[in-house]
A = this chain, B = another copy of it.
């Protein structure tokens, strides 16, 4: 089981499409990838009455995965799944999502992430719990960093750095 390292820089909950360039990391290929959304994050479950911090809300997401934070960035796939607001004291999500690659060297493969995302923290780490295709038997972790957040529109750009070991 050779190990492989790469970085995904991605944006969630944003109407902006974004771009960047590939970078290299020592001893491993690194892709810098971004996620953007149009209105691709929609609330499907509401919070019950009298519950703080949106506890109980569920949003379905279908965010573009791009090669960078700019609008002109190349799209290489989607991040599809949902997040649930699972804390009464802060904005902390349970996130379940699949990174679906439809372009580039990971075309046709997926990565599955399930973990906790406390969105106001600078770095949030979530486990990579599996994958398909090239990422069969994948295990690893993703680190999410908010790149941009527009208070007026609610748009955000979030960078994902994903490290996986796989066959």
A contact set with B: CB distance below 8 Å: 40, 42-48, 51, 55-58, 60-62, 78, 80-82, 84-89, 92, 94, 96-98, 100, 110, 112, 114-116, 125-133, 136-141
Contacts and interface: CB of A to CB of B under 8 A. Distances in A.
Contacts of A89: 62
Copies in the complex: 3
Nearest to A80: B86
A128 B114 CA distance: 11
Contact of A43 (B48, B60, B130): B48
Those 9 A-B pairs whose CB atoms lie nearest each other, nearest first? A127-B130, A80-B86, A125-B132, A98-B116, A44-B56, A56-B60, A81-B94, A129-B129, A62-B88
A125 to B, nearest CB: 4
A81 B86 contact: yes
Given A60-B56, A127-B132, A114 B96 contact: yes
A130 B127 CA distance: 6
